[in-house]
Amino acid sequence: MPNKIIIAGSGLTGLTLALLLAKKGVKVLLLDEKNETGKGSKAICFSRRTLEIFDKLGIVKPVFEQGVQWNTGRIFFRNQEVHSFELLPDKYARYPAFVNISQYEVEKLLLAAVQKEKLIDLRWQHQIKWVDTTPQGNTILVLTPDGEQTFNCEFLVACDGSKSTIRRLMQLEMTGSRSEEKFLIADFRMEADFPSERWFWFAPPHNEHETILLHKQPDNVWRLDVKLNKEVPDEVVNDADFVIQKIKQVVGDKSISLLWTSLYRFSNKMLEEFVYGQVIFAGDAAHVFSPFGARGANSGMHDADNLAWKLAEILLAKATPALLQTYQEERVRACQQNITCTTHATLFISPPSAQAVAVRDAILLKAVDDVTAKKQINCGRLSVPNVYARYALSEEGEWQTTETAPGHCVKDCLMAEGYLIEKLGYAFTLIVGVGTLSEDMKAYLTTHEIALLTIPAYETAFIALYEFTSDSAYLIMPDQYILGRWKHFSAAQAIQLKTKYLSGALKDMIPPLPSAQELIDEEVAGQLMGER
């Protein structure tokens, strides 16, 4: 019998997607050409939104136990600190803004969960050699330890990384830019009383052409990321003495144990589309970003969270494949936002000309005692949930804040018992006041598979954050994004909006406006490019 879904690739995105589909009751065949999860440190910084997804997958507790939380970031220019920031714990949220833990350790936790899941069939050493896609489904030829085998599936999801085999076999190419700057990454153990903070240097005293990022990981392991001079040969990645010297230029004459090194040149690229008939791309197979802002691994997790429930709705005959157009719209837009953010950061970190260096350095010098200049410094805008387009009919009434508007991810909130994020199931959920709905109306919503979360008057934190009244309501999607909000609610509005979304209709969608910080970054980028 044909498989409903085959996922290619068992990295962060593929493992996450498989687990989320299983959570919806969907069987998955997960193929990987390797014989184990990838080694090496790779990503280390995971955002609050990703932690909320880890919660859904049942791995957030060990991530916390193993990971490092950090709140303080410091930015230096030459030998002077020019800016610091505090990621203060959100009194409303269960999880911190970021936790540092190696991607390898996260993948091990996800793999353990996959191996316990009866609905997931994980097969190692299965290399896809050929893909044939039709409107009726897909056929793939796979080289296995037992020889070549043919598999059929309704949907094929490519989560097979930046060098995607599926993408190559379908003759698809990502477009964008590739930097010729080279960066050295080193993970090292340091037994020293050194703060768990994010430190970033522009033009450090020992070399004005470099930039440096220092970050802590679990078990006294640290990550150093250095932009090297162009004339430095690539072979330095294998020169332990050179790497240790670079580390000691930053941390001083400490006892250092070098664990892992790598040299990279980054790209900001994406596929023009993420959905090609019944072949879907996610994670690095769909897009790659520069590492400034921790948007790579986090974005792949968010792709999976957006896609999984939609595939489940289609396979369970609750929606047509047209629903995948919302994945296309939302995650392509998210990718474009991420590329814009990382491109602006790249311009500030690696100015393209001597004139641009002078512009950047003037901002950094001014930032010592100028609040406006501090906001112009860009060493990577850290990953936050992307904002999606919304329908015109998704909002009614006058609202003071856009943070809880349709198209935004739910903001977590401390409730009388637990947190909001814990109370939202993996389904469409309508948030209403106690006594708002009659029993007949509750039954009507239930028949349309909309779960209910009632908010009593004593939930003052939620009421303040969401501008909530006894007559208002919010409709939340299974991936915890806000689909609609109304000051004066009727059940018909929620059902109409859900039905329209599940149809995949993109007409009448209103794109999000750029944030104040995005406008600042765009202005500075124009100055660095000599356009303003």
CATH number at residue 463: 3.40.30.120
Quote the pLDDT of residue 49: 96
Whether residue 23 is found in the same domain as residue 122: yes
Instruction: Name the strand (E) or helix (H) holding 128.
Output: strand 127-134
Whether residue 297 is found in the same domain as residue 436: no
**Long-range residue pairs from 143-152, CB within 8 A, at least 24 positions apart, any chain:** 151/3, 151/6, 151/29, 152/2, 152/3
Residue pair 136/156 in contact (Cβ under 8 Å)? The answer is no
The domain boundary residue, chosen from 291, 322, 353: 322
Residue pair 494/475 in contact (Cβ under 8 Å)? The answer is yes
Whole-angstrom Cα distance, residue 444 to residue 430? 12
Whole-angstrom Cα distance, residue 323 to residue 342? 29
Whole-Å CA distances, 294 to 43, 301, 382:
8, 12, 6
Mean pLDDT of 235-263: 93
182 within some domain: no
Quote the pLDDT of residue 191: 85
Res. 88: pLDDT tops 80: no
Tell me: the pLDDT tens digits for 465-484?
999 999 999 999 999 999 99
Whole-angstrom Cα distance, residue 36 to residue 163? 17
Residue pair 393/496 in contact (Cβ under 8 Å)? The answer is yes
Whether residue 404 is found in the same domain as residue 486: yes
151 within some domain: yes
Confidence of residue 292 (pLDDT cuts 50, 70, 90): confident
Grouping H, G, I as helix, E, B as strand and the rest as coil, residue 391 is: strand
Whether residue 317 is found in the same domain as residue 403: no
Beta strand pairing call for 137-144 and 147-158: antiparallel
27 within some domain: yes
400 within some domain: yes
Computed over every residue of the chain, the mean pLDDT equals 94
The domain boundary residue, chosen from 297, 322, 347: 322
pTM of the complete model beyond 0.85 = yes
Mean pLDDT of 369-386: 95
Strand 45-47: give its sheet, edge to edge: 45-47, 98-100, 68-69
Res. 25: pLDDT tops 80: yes
Mean pLDDT of 457-469: 95
Whether residue 302 is found in the same domain as residue 437: no
Whether residue 407 is found in the same domain as residue 496: yes
Q: Domain span at residue 432?
A: 390-510
107 within some domain: yes
Tell me: the pLDDT tens digits for 54-76?
999 999 999 999 999 988 899 99
Whether residue 311 is found in the same domain as residue 394: no
Residue pair 252/161 in contact (Cβ under 8 Å)? The answer is no
Whether residue 147 is found in the same domain as residue 23: yes
CATH number, domain of 162, equals 3.50.50.60
Close Cβ partners of 193 (under 8 Å, ≥ 6 residues apart):
none
CA angle, 68 as apex, 62 and 69 as ends, to 5°? Answer: 105
Quote the pLDDT of residue 445: 95
- Percentage of the chain beyond pLDDT 90 is 87
Mean pLDDT of 397-401: 93
**Alpha-carbon dihedral of residues 389, 448, 503, 429, nearest 10 degrees?**
20
Mean pLDDT of 96-122: 96
Burial 299-323 (b: 16+ CB within 10 A, else e): bbbbbbbbbbbbbbbbbeeebebeb
Res. 333: pLDDT tops 70: yes
Whether residue 276 is found in the same domain as residue 408: no
- Percentage of the chain beyond pLDDT 70 is 99
Confidence of residue 383 (pLDDT cuts 50, 70, 90): very high
Quote the pLDDT of residue 41: 60
Quote the pLDDT of residue 40: 64
Q: How many domains does the chain have?
A: 2
Whole-angstrom Cα distance, residue 47 to residue 12? 14
424 within some domain: yes
Quote the pLDDT of residue 530: 86
Whether residue 140 is found in the same domain as residue 38: yes
Whole-angstrom Cα distance, residue 487 to residue 128? 52
Whether residue 119 is found in the same domain as residue 36: yes
Whether residue 286 is found in the same domain as residue 396: no
Kindly state the tokens that stand for 248.
Answer: 């000691």
Return the HEC string of 30-96.
EECCCCCCCCCCCCCEEEHHHHHHHHHHCCHHHHHHHCEECCEEEEEECCEEEEEEECCCCCCCCCC
Mean pLDDT of 82-102: 86
296 within some domain: yes
Whole-angstrom Cα distance, residue 403 to residue 98? 19
Tell how far CA 260 is from the center of its chain. 25
